[in-house]
Structure 1
Amino acid sequence: MGHEEIPLSLDELRQLSLWTADCAEQALALFEAAAPGDRRARDAIEATREFGAGGKRTKAIRTAAWAALKAAGELDAGGLHGRERKAAGAAARAAVGAAGSAYLHPFAAATQVKHIVAAAQYAAYAQELATGDPAAADAVIRWAVERVPPTVREVLARYPDGAPGRSRLGELHRQLEAELRRPSTS
């Protein structure tokens, strides 16, 4: 089953990528504290930011995203305990989400919404896991919504509602998506 193609410019993708890189960076310190010297999450954010600033959308972005995902998987598999490990893994996934934003497809599919919200969603989740306080996630979502470019809101409005699931991550996705779909007050 095909999906209707929606208009999506390279400039819009770049603006989205810059915002998602900023969102992912909100949790980067959690990853770096848990994995000192491991640049994989930072490299994914930097590759995303380079694209957003006018660079080419190359395989390097995908490669950096896969490396950050591998880092998250390694954190899931062992070494660190409890909140620190889980928060660091979520922070790495925020970097993966940022890199994925460069590959938002111009198809009107609910599954594409994750490319718009994943970086902020995982950064919020990482902060909540690190502190044990849902208010920390709310603060990241507020931060992201306050800084979202109008273009990102316009792009999201072209897509159907996302399909976030029933987990805590799904709740954060719904909260973020609802805020981004709400008309801007500025």
Structure 2
Amino acid sequence: MHPVVSETGEIVLSKQDLREVTGYAAESAQDVLEIFESTHPADPRPHDAIDAAWTFARGGERGKSLRDTGWAAHRAAREADTATAGHAARAAMCAASAAYLHPLADAHQLKHILGAAAHAARAAEHSAGSHRDVGAEHIERARERAAPAVVDVLRRYPAAPLGGGRVGELLRDLDTALRGRQ
């Protein structure tokens, strides 16, 4: 097993760690892509961001395309007609940005790991009339599908920070559930 903190205090992350986290985020975002596409069928930006995340997770390189599609999905989220579609697009943006998880012991980095799942859960909640149990079910599925490698990376970082509204609450719920997993 490799060390999780370098001599300089940075968290050690391999390219494979980043691929595992990005694949996990892409899968989470994929769950709610249809929510965005049903209201914005002509806008490919979230789909492109998820595709770019999958490409990296499956062995591609981090590069301009990954960054550009992530930023484009962010713009799609801001321009979305509904909060539901906006959260689905943010999940896609988070999937693309997962590849850029920084090796800093900063709790805000957890958004790169868990942000796609949290925004996907919130999109699902909105889609179901803001029923919190729908979000909780999404978080449970995200917990179940997290590979041990994703949990290992997560545990290298401080616990999720307070704040962030309902998305922050969902992120903290998932963080707590994953850290407590054996």
What is the TM-score of this pair, normalised by structure 1?
Answer: 0.90
Residue 113 (structure 1) aligns with: 110
* One of 33, 40, 54 as aligned partner of 2:38: 33
Residue 55 (structure 1) aligns with: 60
Instruction: In structure 2, give the amino acid aligned to 1:179.
Output: A
Residue 144 (structure 2) aligns with: 146
Asked if structure 2 preserves the Cα contact closer than 8 Å seen for 1:20 and 1:98, the reply is yes
Query: CA 1:129/1:165 → structure 2, altered by over 3 Å: closer, same or farther?
Result: same
* One of 90, 94, 98 as aligned partner of 1:93: 90
Instruction: In structure 1, give the amino acid aligned to 2:91.
Output: A
Give 1:166 deviation, angstroms.
5.2
Query: CA 1:164/1:52 → structure 2, altered by over 3 Å: closer, same or farther?
Result: farther
Give 1:164 deviation, angstroms.
4.0
Give 1:129 deviation, angstroms.
0.7
Once the two structures are superposed, residues 117-175 of structure 1 have per-residue CA deviations (whole angstroms, 9 ceiling, x without a partner) of 10000000000011121111111111111111100100011101121405111211110
What is the TM-score of this pair, normalised by structure 2?
Answer: 0.92
Distance 1:170 1:16 in 2: 19
Query: 3-state DSSP class of the match of 2:13?
Result: coil
Distance 2:168 2:11 in 1: 25
Q: Does 1:46 align with 2:43?
A: no
Residue 69 (structure 1) aligns with: 74
Q: Structure 2: give runs of 5+ residues left out of the alignment.
A: 1-7
Instruction: In structure 1, give the amino acid aligned to 2:16.
Output: D
Q: Structure 1: give runs of 5+ residues left out of the alignment.
A: none
Q: Percent identity?
A: 44
Give 1:113 deviation, angstroms.
1.0
Which runs of at least 4 in structure 1 moved beyond 3 Å after TM superposition?
Answer: none
Distance 1:137 1:21 in 2: 18
* One of 156, 159, 170 as aligned partner of 1:158: 156
Distance 2:162 2:42 in 1: 33
Distance 1:100 1:9 in 2: 16
Asked if structure 2 preserves the Cα contact closer than 8 Å seen for 1:24 and 1:95, the reply is yes
Asked if structure 2 preserves the Cα contact closer than 8 Å seen for 1:26 and 1:140, the reply is no
